[in-house]
Structure 1
Amino acid sequence: MNIENTAKQENPRESPELEEPKPKNPPKIQENIRSEPTEAPIRVTDQPENEPKIICTFSQLFTATAVSLLSLVIGYATAYSSPSDASLRKEFYLGNSEMSLIGGLMPLSAVFGVLMGGFLIEYCGRKGTMFVIDITFLISWLIIYYSSNLYQLYVSRCLVGGGIGVATLALPVYLVETIQPEVRGILGLLPMTFGNIGIFVCFVYGIFVNWRNLALIGLVLTLPFLIFFIWIIPETPAWYIAHDKLGKCKKALVWLRGENQDVTKELNDLIRKNNEQKSRETNISLLFKTPNLKPLIIVLGLMFFQQFSGINAVIFYTTSIFRASGSNMSASICTTIIGAVNLISSFIANGLIDRLGRRVLLQLSSILMTLGLGCLGFYYYVKEILLIDVSEYGFLPLTNLIIFVAGFSIGFGPIPWLMMGELVPVEVKSIVVSIVTSINWACTFVITLTFLCVAQMFGYFAIFWFFCCMVLTGGVLTWLVVPETRGTGISDIARPRSRFLRSTAHSKPFPSTNM
């Protein structure tokens, strides 16, 4: 009886305790649900680890891929002088000075292309500018295909260089203005990947066809982008806003972000930022203010060391480098292998860019390039200065160039371009992009024009050791100065620099499972 009584007494006590929380909790849950529509944007940003970020839409992936087709043409045009070297020398009886000029005219013209690029992307739009670039490439390939003298080749390479110069402005701006920051790392590397595909395709076909048919293949490669341009890819929402086309801006945002996404907040942010930009004066004096000067110096340094790593000398003159190595291996086959390594490394970079971050990849890139260039210089020193027969070790130039190119492709190749869009403050971005890109192409011109002549005067070992020292210096300065920018949105880039640097310290890579 006592047990039953105690049971009866415990049950009434337990039931109120169990029932009391039930009527209290549901109202709280309902209140949260009711208040969620008005507070949803804040909750998503306040709890990034609990709330999933917006995943990459098919439209953004498709747009980035379509635009990258133009980069494929650029890569093909960049690599053209290497596989066409032997057939051009034979056809027009060219020496090193003429081949250096064919290679050097392209980056020299790119400097002027950059100066025109700012005007074109502003008044013709990002999309319209890319159309002009593609048509320029088509015309240049036609000129090469029907060339009967050396001067026509010069004109063609000048047109190619001008188009590439404009493209180095238009493509990054287009991608930054259309792709969400969560996937900007991996999708932002697509143009670099497609560019490397273009280089590889050019090297492969260079084994089988001469300079004229290589130009014909380049012409065919310009056509797919025109199809995507005419029917599919949109103009950037930011450009529409800047030109008071609100309806088209909203339509482009809905297409890029998905019909199920509410683009009102992003649209309002674009309007606000555009108004702020109009209210600010953009002039050269802003570059020398403390918040803007440091990112300018960082980006300039990255671009300088990118080019003085010697990568374009290797890409432009791969065949000549292997011929001078004394190796028994086919120069054309080795050139194609380098193109394949360049391409594969780009895919590796795509997978690592948002996992390891920009700084880690830059430092890893510097280590690999230093190793490859140092050993390559030592090989040529033994051959050219010590006059030792190195034919038994003919595989070493290929091995070292593989290490060098792989290192470049995962770090110093794509990341300086990516960080230029992420690091530079909005109010000076147009000026900085023009200055930095012009200097980049000017450095490329110096390297490509002088490489063969310097190698002939001082030896290949000297120039490769020079590149090695530059890469080592760049790696040390990267470790000391360059901040991490992965996962940083455009709104963070527009902040004062102290707040921006603090925000990047806590940024996390975009989860690969969401892709």
Structure 2
Amino acid sequence: MADRTYSYDPVGAATALNQQTHRMEQGQLWRQYVIAGIANIAIASTGYCMGWTSPVNIKLKDLSQSPLPEKVTDDQEAWIGSLLTVGAIFGPFIGGIAASKIGRKWGLISSAIPLFIGWILMAAATSVGMIYAGRIFWGLAVGMLFTISPMYCAEIATDEVRGALGSFLQLFITVGFLLVYSAGPYVSYSAIAYIGVAFTAVFVVAFFFMPESPIYYLTKNDREAAASCLMKIRGRSRAGVEAELEKMAVEVTASMQKTATIRDLGEKGNFKAMYISCALVFFQQFCGINAVLFYMTNIFTAAGSTLDASVATIIIGAVQLGASCITPFVVDRLGRRLLLLFSACGTAIGLGLLGMFFLLQANGNPIAAKIGFVPLLSLVLFMVTYCVGLGPLPWAVMGELFPIEVKAIAAPIATAFCWILSFLVTRFFNPVATAIGMHMAFWIFGVCCVGAFFFTMLLVPETKGKSFQEIQDMLRGKTSSKSEKA
């Protein structure tokens, strides 16, 4: 009886029994949310690292608060802001190797190593070179996590909640931003570092007890370990997960029939997935998000806002978090395309208003003094709409588009491309804004948001509620039969 229960027979009584058991066992959906949430504590830690420059840049120019013997120059400040993205360019390749060799779980845990090294360098910093090195190590961790975390969340999720778990990346990164924005201005430089260390330690301890992705074990031909993981993730018995496990095994077997190489990215479905992923991360970065985040305090100071820059930054961080909470609840109902279209429109309007304000200010128009609230209003609009679509969904969509055997090659390339763009934006935003005017810099970003709208409308497929196999068939121009659907 045990053999009949656990073996796969597409027309036999065992399959019927398994499917009936699967339907009877509702499972515990909350487990997927909890596991993905704990996995994304590391993402929150990277948000803390990425937002670190906003409060710390001010401290580094005040010798009474800085650990350095001299104030940092504007050029050094630009390098501090951008070097994290340099590390993040290389991190995805380390993450991709780790995900395929030691697993998604241990790949995520190993990202804590460069995070800890970065915080040690920051806490002990006596020169700007140590800060540079710390930022690069943080970047390695960011690149690793942005590659592995979407992969892990997509692989543990059922089709109906995959979009929600994929959007956790943006939600948790805003938790990190809000924490550093809230604490940074009011605690010492060293205290900021100690909080960062504690953040990372909490992730390592909590995630140690979480399961591996069952798909990883299936790629290693360890069906029993995959079943054990799936039982923990779904909250079902072995019989209750058998039908889903068999479906996963069939997909993995089909995907692993050949070893993927970079040439496979030229195949029709893979090429389409690649250019969609790269285009989405291009628009994500060239909407100017990292320029805004890294230099938010500078933007409010330059705008001459009547509101204290630190308070305004905290408000923006809270808005980010609130907006990011929306996406997990609506993405699997409204779909990816609609949210991306809404996000592109909103960010374009917000950047247009911000550019208009800086143009009035640059021309000495007296109206600028009367509308000092516009920078805050514009950035609130920008952040809300960014966090709903352009922030989380490129990562969620990327985790869905690539077949299993290609993910380890394609995801690091797309993620590295993202961070190359991020480096360009963060390193050269200030020089470009100085050369052509802050208003022109924001309008260029706004034009890119308009481009994102039309690209999404014309070329981005809807993946809501589709299985991995259905998505692959759609990219290749095939039609899945009813038997293939989830």
* TM-score of the superposed pair, with normalisation by structure 2: 0.90
Length, aligned pairs only: 466
Q: CA shift at 1:500, angstroms?
A: 6.2
Q: Percent identity?
A: 31
User: Is 1:256 the equivalent of 2:233?
Assistant: yes
Q: 2:181 aligns with which of 180, 183, 203?
A: 203
Which residue in 2 is equivalent to 1:278? 256
Where does 1:10-89 land on structure 2 (aligned, <5 Å)?
38-39=15-16, 56-89=28-61
Instruction: Work out whether 1:125 is the aligned partner of 2:103.
Output: yes
Q: What SS does structure 2 have at the residue aligned with 1:411? A: helix
1:41, CA displacement in angstroms? Answer: 7.0
Structure 1 partner of 2:453: 475
Query: CA offset at residue 303 of structure 1?
Result: 0.8
1:234 match = 211
Is the 8 Å Cα contact of residues 105 and 212 (structure 2) preserved in structure 1? yes
Mapped partners of 2:117, 2:87: distance in 1? 16
Deviation at 1:386, TM superposition (A): 4.4
Question: Shift of the alpha carbon at 1:165?
Answer: 0.5
Q: CA RMSD in A?
A: 2.4
How do residues 403-442 of structure 1 correspond to structure 2 at under 5 angstroms?
Answer: 403-442=381-420
**Matched residues in 2 for 1:362 and 1:500: separation?**
25
Structure 2 equivalent of residue 189 of structure 1: 167
What is the CA–CA distance in structure 1 between the aligned matches of 2:91 and 2:281, rounded to whole Å?
Answer: 17
The answer for the alignment partner of 2:136 in structure 1 is 158
User: Are the equivalent residues in 1 in contact too, given 2:473–2:479 (CA < 8 A)?
Assistant: no
Which secondary structure does the structure 1 equivalent of 2:240 belong to? coil
Who is 2:124 aligned against? 146
2:425 corresponds to: 447
Give ranges in structure 2 of 5+ residues lacking alignment: 1-11
Q: Distance in 1 between matches of 2:441 and 2:376?
A: 17
Q: Could you say which residue in structure 2 is the equivalent of 1:243?
A: 220
* Matching of residues 349-498 of structure 1 within 5 Å: 349-388=327-366, 390-495=368-473, 497=475
CA 1:310–1:496: 2 relative to 1, 3 Å: closer
Name the amino acid aligned to 2:230: L
CA contact (8 A) 2:268 2:476 kept: no
Task: Output the amino acid matched with 1:329.
Answer: L
Q: CA deviation at 1:167?
A: 0.6
TM superposition shift of 1:149:
0.9
Query: How far apart in 2 are the matches of 1:376 and 1:400?
Result: 6
Which amino acid in structure 1 is aligned with residue 444 of structure 2?
F
Q: Deviations over 1:102-133 (max 9, x none)?
A: 11100111011112211111112111111111
- Separation in 2 of the partners of 1:315 and 1:376? 15
C-alpha deviation, 1:97, in angstroms: 1.1
Counterparts of 2:352 and 2:404 in 1: how far apart (Å)? 39
2:303 matched to 1:331? Answer: no
2:300 is matched with 322
Partner deviation per Cα, 1:256-301 (whole Å, 9 max, x = no partner): 1123462222322333333333322412222222232222211111
CA contact (8 A) 1:72 1:194 kept: yes
What secondary structure does 2:351 align onto?
helix
1:229 positional shift: 2.6
1:94 equivalent in structure 2: 72
Aligned equivalents of 1:191, 1:463: Cα separation in 2? 27
Matched, 1:297 2:278: no
Inter-partner Cα distance in structure 1 for 2:467 and 2:46:
28
CA contact (8 A) 2:60 2:71 kept: yes
Given residue 248 of structure 1, which amino acid in structure 2 is its aligned partner? Answer: A
The verdict on how the C-alpha distance between 1:284 and 1:225 changes in structure 2, with shifts beyond 3 A counting, is same
The 3-state SS of whatever aligns with 2:375 is: helix
Task: Name the SS for the 2:88 alignment partner.
Answer: helix
Contact kept in structure 2, 1:358 and 1:485, CA below 8 Å = yes
Please tell me whether the aligned partners of residues 425 and 493 of structure 1 are also in contact (alpha carbons under 8 angstroms): no
Secondary structure in 1 aligned to 2:247?
helix
Structure 1 range deviating more: 449-458 or 392-401: 449-458
Measure the CA separation in 2 of the matches of 1:482 and 1:491: 17
Secondary structure at the residue paired with 1:291?
helix
Q: Secondary structure at the match of 1:84?
A: helix
Deviations 1:352-411 (A, max 9, x none): 211211111111101111110001000000101345462221111000000001110001
Q: Distance in 2 between matches of 1:288 and 1:69?
A: 35
- Give the match for residue 5 of structure 1: none
Contact 2:351 2:446 in 1 (8 A): yes
Structure 2 CA distance for aligned equivalents of residues 379 and 450 of structure 1: 21
In 2, Cα distance between equivalents of 1:392 and 1:327: 10
Q: Does the 8 Å CA contact 2:104/2:152 hold for their aligned counterparts?
A: yes
**1: CA distance between counterparts of 2:257 and 2:30?**
36
Q: Secondary structure at the match of 2:256?
A: helix
Name the CA distance, whole Å, in 2 between partners of 1:121 and 1:286. 19
C-alpha contact 1:137 1:160 (8 A) present in aligned 2: yes
Counterpart residue number, 1:21:
none
Report the secondary structure of 2:59's partner residue.
helix
Report the CA distance shift for 1:345/1:500 in structure 2 as closer, same or farther (over 3 A). Answer: farther
Per-residue deviation at 1:426?
3.6
State whether residues 297 and 313 of structure 2, in contact with CA within 8 Å, keep that contact through their aligned partners in structure 1: yes
**C-alpha displacement of 1:338:** 0.7
Q: Deviations over 1:476-497 (max 9, x none)?
A: 1111111111111223234363
Q: Which moved more, 1:54-63 or 1:139-148?
A: 54-63
Counterpart secondary structure, 2:305? coil
| Structure 1: gaps spanning 5 or more residues | 1-34, 46-50, 509-515
Q: Distance in 1 between matches of 2:480 and 2:321?
A: 35
The DSSP-based 3-state class of the residue aligned with 1:476 is: helix
Q: Secondary structure at the match of 2:464?
A: coil
